[in-house]
Amino acid sequence: MKRKIFNLILGQAFLCSMIACQSQKSNLTFENQGDSLTIVRITHPTKYLLLPIQEAASEGKVKLDTGSPADMAMDVRLAVDSIEYYVPFELPQGVEEATVTIGKVPSGAVCWENIQLSDTFNTANTDYYRPIYHHTPLYGWMNDANGLVYKDGEYHLYFQYNPYGSKWGNMHWGHSVSKDLIHWEHLKPAIARDTLGHIFSGSSIVDHNNSAGYGKDAMIAFYTSASDEHGQIQCMAYSNDNGRTYTKYEKNPILTPFDGLKDFRDPKVFWYEPAQKWYMIVSADKEMRFYSSSNLKDWEYLSGFGKGYGVQPNQFECPDFIQLPVDGDKNNMKWVMIVNINPGCMFGGSATEYFVGDFDGKEFKCDTKPEVTKWLDFGKDHYATVCFSNTGDRIIAVPWMSNWQYANATPIRQYRGANALPRELSLYTKDGQIYMAANAVKETEALRKDTRNIDDFAVKGEYKIDEIVPQTDGAYELEMDVTPDKAQVVGFDLLNAKGEKVKVYLDMKEGKLVADRTESGIVDLARHGEMNVHEKETDDHRKTMSVNYKNDFALGTWAPLSLCEGKTYHLNVFVDKCSVEIFVDGGRIAMTNLVFPTQPYNTLRFYAENGEAQISNMKIYKLGL
C-alpha cells in the first residue's frame, strides 16, 4: 500500500525511558515511560496518525486522551518486528495539540520509527482477493451484518467492524449504504466501541410512530455492549440524520439478562401488528428469548424458545424473526426464526439454521420436532444472516461470508471479511414440509456486463469450454439447466492453468449437489495465519481452540437434491475472486464457499459418468460494477 512518508527522526528517543524527543519535521513528541506507557503529543494535528500493524504482535492500547472518563483505549497490534500495513487513527481537528497514549508496546518495536502523520489515507485496493462485486470494508476487519434497514431509498448495511486492523477486535458498527443492494458507498463507522464494551451485533428500525420520543421516522439502533466488566447487555442509540451518526441512549442498558446469563446478545427488534407493540428477540445461550415494549426502552419478558432444538451442540446467535407467505399465498402466513449457530455447521464451524412455525404474540411453536434441522445455506461460509427491516413484503437477508474456524487466517491483509450476495427469502412446500428458499436478489442482474450464449449440448464423458468469458478477472455468473437423464454423476470443474479447481456436480445416486474445493488453490490456511488457533467473539474475545486449517478448509460441501423438483435443475453460479455461490431452482438450495485460487478460474470442464446428461439454456455473464 502506497503511503505518504514523513521523515520521522525518532530512533534515539527510545534509548532511555522518560526522555522526550521532538521530531524536526513531524510535530510529534514521544515520551517513553517503559513498555507500559508512551505518551505521544502532536502539535497542530493532521487528520490521521497512521499506525503500522503486525498481525502476529500482541495488542497494544492506543487511546486519544482528552481527559474525559469516556476516553476508550483501542486494542491495536502495533508492529514489533515488521510492518504489514497501516491503519488510520483519527485525530481531533482545529486544536493546537492532541495527546495519544500507547501502552503495552515494547520500546524497541519498529512501530515507533514508522508512525506517521497524514491528512490522507490510501484505501485503493491492494489485495488480490478483494471481490469485484461483493461488499467488503475499505480496510480493516468485518464480520456480522448489523442493523440492516431501508429508509428513504437507501439500504443501510451496518456491520461488525475493527478499523484498527484486519483481525477481530474493537467492535464498532461500520456503515455502508446502497440504493440497489449492489453498489455500496462506504461511510464512517456509525457506533464506536465505548466504556460499556464492544459494540456487538443488533438491529435497526424506523420509528414511524415516534415510540421512543426521538422524532417521527427517527432511526433507532439496538446492539449488545460486551465487556468483561459489564457482561453482555442490550443498548440503544438513535439517529436523526438518516443513520449517519447515532446518539447513545443516556440510560443504557435497556435490557440485561434476568438470570445473569453470560451469552445474551444480538437483539432483533420488529413491529408486531396484532399487539401494536415492538418486539425483541435476543439470543440467550442455547435458546432465543422474546420481549415486548411500547416505548423501545422498557422491555417485558414473554417467553423462550430453542433449548434442544436443531443441530447439537450449538450456541445460538444473531436471531431474526420474519413472517412469510407459504408458496406465495398471503392467506397462509408462517413465522420463521433464523438462528445462527457456532459451532454446529454440518461441515464444521458456524452456520445458519431456521425454524418454521406459528407465533401467538407470546410464544413461538415450531412445526417440526426438536431434532429436525433445516439449513438456510449448505456451504461452509455463510453465517450471521439477518434481514433488512422496513422493506415491505420483500424479505432480504445478508450473510457474512466466512467461517469462525479460519476467519482470522484467510490469506488477506488490507481487509478481512465480505458479505455474500443479498438473498430474497421465500417459503415453499416439499413432501409435506415447509422450507425456506434463499435466492440471489433480482438486483444482481444489473451486474451482467457481457453475455455469452452457449448452444445446448449433451455430455458423455468430458466436454470442455476453454475460455469462460474474456477478461473476467475472476468475476462471472454461469446460468444453465442441467438434466442428468441416466447419468449417475454430471457436473463441471471451474479450473485455471495451474490445475486449481472447484468441482460442482450432481450425484444422482447419492441425491446430492456437491461443491468440492479440496484442490481450489490455497487450502492450507495455517501457512497464512500467525498460529494454529482461531479467535471467536466472546465476552473476553480471546477464547482459542486448536484447529487444522487445511482439514477445516479443504473439503466438499453438499446439499440434498430432494429439496428440488427433480429431472431438470436450474443453476445460477456466481464466481468472484475468492468465492463461489450456487443457487439451485430459485434458491431451494443455496451454497456459499470461499476459495483462494492463485489465478482466476478461466476454464469450464463438463463431465458425466455412467450415462449422458443434457446442458441447456446456458449463459455465461461477465460481471462487474
What mean pLDDT is predicted for residues 457-486? Answer: 86
Answer yes or no: is pLDDT of 543 > 90: no
Q: What is the per-residue pLDDT across 338-361, written as a single tens digit (0 to 9) for each?
A: 999 998 899 999 999 999 999 999
What mean pLDDT is predicted for residues 572-577? Answer: 97
Indicate the fold that domain 11-118 takes in CATH. Immunoglobulin-like (2.60.40)
**CA-to-CA distance for 398 and 232, rounded, in angstroms?**
24
**CA-to-CA distance for 238 and 270, rounded, in angstroms?**
16
Among candidate residues 522, 523, 516, 482, the one with its CA nearest the CA of residue 502: 516
pLDDT of res. 313? 83
**CA-to-CA distance for 355 and 286, rounded, in angstroms?**
14
Which residue type, as a one-letter code, is found at position 111?
A: C
Q: DSSP string covering 329-390, please?
A: EEEEEEEEEEEEESS--TTSS-EEEEEEEEE-SS-EEESS-TT--EES--SSS-EEEEE-BS
With helix as H, strand as E and coil as C, how does 225-286 read?
EEECCCEEEEEEEEECCCCCCCEECCCCCCECCCCCCCCEEEEEEEEEHHHCEEEEEEEECC
Q: What is the DSSP letter of 420?
A: P
**CA-to-CA distance for 570 and 572, rounded, in angstroms?**
7
More confident residue, 13 or 233: 233
pLDDT of res. 615? 96
Among candidate residues 442, 410, 405, the one with its CA nearest the CA of residue 535: 405
Among candidate residues 204, 602, 138, 170, the one with its CA nearest the CA of residue 414: 138
pLDDT of res. 142? 98
User: Please, are residues 237 and 246 in contact by the beta-carbon 8 Å criterion?
Assistant: yes
**CA-to-CA distance for 320 and 58, rounded, in angstroms?**
36
Question: Does an H or E element contain 155, and which?
Answer: strand 154-162
Least confident of 58-67, 308-317, 427-436: 308-317
Residue given cell 525511558 in the structure block: 17
Beta strands 85-90 and 48-53, pairing class: antiparallel
pLDDT of res. 14? 29
Sequence-ordered list of residues with C-beta below 8 angstroms from that of 200, at least 6 positions apart, any chain: 160, 171, 223, 224, 225, 226, 232, 265, 266, 537
**CA-to-CA distance for 32 and 19, rounded, in angstroms?**
6
pLDDT of res. 542? 30
Local confidence band at 538 (pLDDT 50, 70, 90 cut-offs) = very low
Which residue type, as a one-letter code, is found at position 16?
A: C
Long-range contacts of 184-192 (CB under 8 A, 24+ apart): 184/135, 184/157, 186/137, 186/138, 187/244, 188/244, 189/161, 189/163, 190/147, 190/158, 190/221, 190/239, 190/243, 190/244, 190/245, 190/246, 191/158, 191/221, 191/223, 191/237, 191/246, 191/248, 192/72
Point out the catalytic residue in the list 65, 119, 127, 144.
Answer: 144
HSE-up of 161 (CA within 13 Å, CB side)? Answer: 25
Q: DSSP string covering 287-336, please?
A: EEEEEEESSSSS-EEEEEE-TT-SSSS--EEEEEEEEEEETTEEEEEEEE
Which three cell numbers mark 475? 468475476
Local confidence band at 258 (pLDDT 50, 70, 90 cut-offs) = very high
**CA-to-CA distance for 8 and 78, rounded, in angstroms?**
17
Q: What percent of the chain has pLDDT over 70?
A: 91
Q: Which residues pair with 445 in a beta bridge?
A: none
User: Please, are residues 464 and 605 in contact by the beta-carbon 8 Å criterion?
Assistant: yes
Which three cell numbers mark 114? 514508522
HSE-up of 357 (CA within 13 Å, CB side)? Answer: 21
Domain assignments of the chain as residue spans, ordered by start = 11-118, 140-440, 444-517+555-623
pLDDT of res. 185? 98
Local confidence band at 388 (pLDDT 50, 70, 90 cut-offs) = very high
CATH 3.90.420.10 fits 444-517+555-623, yes or no: no
Q: What percent of the chain has pLDDT over 90?
A: 86
What mean pLDDT is predicted for residues 54-73? Answer: 96
What mean pLDDT is predicted for residues 180-204? Answer: 98
Sequence-ordered list of residues with C-beta below 8 angstroms from that of 562, at least 6 positions apart, any chain: 430, 431, 511
More confident residue, 586 or 544: 586
144 counts as catalytic: yes
Count other Cβ atoms within 10 Å, centred on residue 446: 14
Count other Cβ atoms within 10 Å, centred on residue 285: 19
What mean pLDDT is predicted for residues 174-197? Answer: 98
Architecture of domain 140-440: 5 Propeller (2.115)
**CA-to-CA distance for 382 and 582, rounded, in angstroms?**
12
More confident residue, 75 or 2: 75
**CA-to-CA distance for 433 and 108, rounded, in angstroms?**
64
Q: What is the per-residue pLDDT across 492-534, written as a single tens digit (0 to 9) for each?
A: 999 999 999 999 999 999 999 999 999 999 999 865 443 333 3
Which residue type, as a one-letter code, is found at position 406?
A: Y
pLDDT of res. 471? 64
